[in-house]
Chains A and B, each alone.
Chain A
Amino acid sequence: MSTREPRWVRWTLIAVALAFLGLNLALPLAAVFAGALAKGLTVYRAAVVEPDAVAAMRLTLTVAAIAVPLNIAFGLAAAWAVTKFDFPGKALLISLIDLPLSVSPVVSGLIYVLLFGLQGWAGQWLRAHDVRIIFAVPGIVLATVFVTFPFVARELIPLMTEQGRSDEEAARSLGASGWTTFTRVTLPNVRWALLYGVLLCNARAMGEFGAVSVVSGHIRGLTNTLPLHIEILYNEYNYVAAFAVASLLAGLALVTLVAKSLLEWRYGDQLTGSGH
Chain B
Amino acid sequence: MTVSVAGLTKRFRDHTALDGVSLDVRPGEFLALLGPSGSGKTTLLRIIGGLDFPDAGSVTFAGEDVAGRPARERQVGFVFQNYALFRHLRVADNIAFGLTVRPRGLRPTPAAIRARVDELLALVQLPGLGRRYPAQLSGGQRQRVALARALAVDPTVLLLDEPFGALDAKVRGDLRRWLRGVHETMGLTSIFVTHDQDEALDLADRVAVMNAGRIEQVDTPDAVYNRPATAFVADFIGNACRFDCRLRGGEVELAGIRLPNAAPPCGDGPGVAFVRPHEFDLAAEGRPGLAATVRRVAHTAARASVECVTSDGRVIDVSAPLDIVVRGGEAVTLVPTTVRAYPA
Contact = CB atoms under 8 A, between A and B. Distances in A.
B101 interface: yes
Interface residues of A, number: 17
B84 A180 contact: no
A174 B80 contact: no
Interface stretch (A112-120, A152-160, A163-171, A248-256): A163-171
Interface residues of B, number: 24
B61 to A, nearest CB: 14
Nearest to B149: A174
B80 A166 contact: yes
Interface of A is mostly: helix
B213 interface: no
B131 interface: no
B15 interface: no
B72 A175 contact: yes
Main secondary structure of the interface of B (DSSP, over half): loop
B88 A174 contact: no
A266 interface: no
Nearest to A275: B87
A176 to B, nearest CB: 4
Contacts of A169: 51, 71, 78, 80, 84
Interface stretch (A24-32, A45-53, A132-140, A183-191): A183-191
B98 A175 contact: yes
A189 B134 CA distance: 13
Interface of A: 166-167, 169-177, 180, 184-185, 188-189, 276
Given A170-B80, A172-B51, A172-B71, 13 more contacts: A166-B82, A169-B84, A173-B51, A173-B71, A174-B149, A174-B152, A174-B153, A175-B98, A175-B102, A176-B97, A177-B101, A184-B101, A276-B87
24 contacts: A166-B80, A166-B84, A167-B86, A169-B51, A169-B80, A170-B78, A170-B80, A170-B84, A171-B101, A172-B71, A173-B50, A173-B51, A173-B77, A173-B78, A173-B150, A174-B97, A174-B149, A174-B150, A174-B152, A175-B72, A175-B98, A176-B101, A180-B101, A189-B88
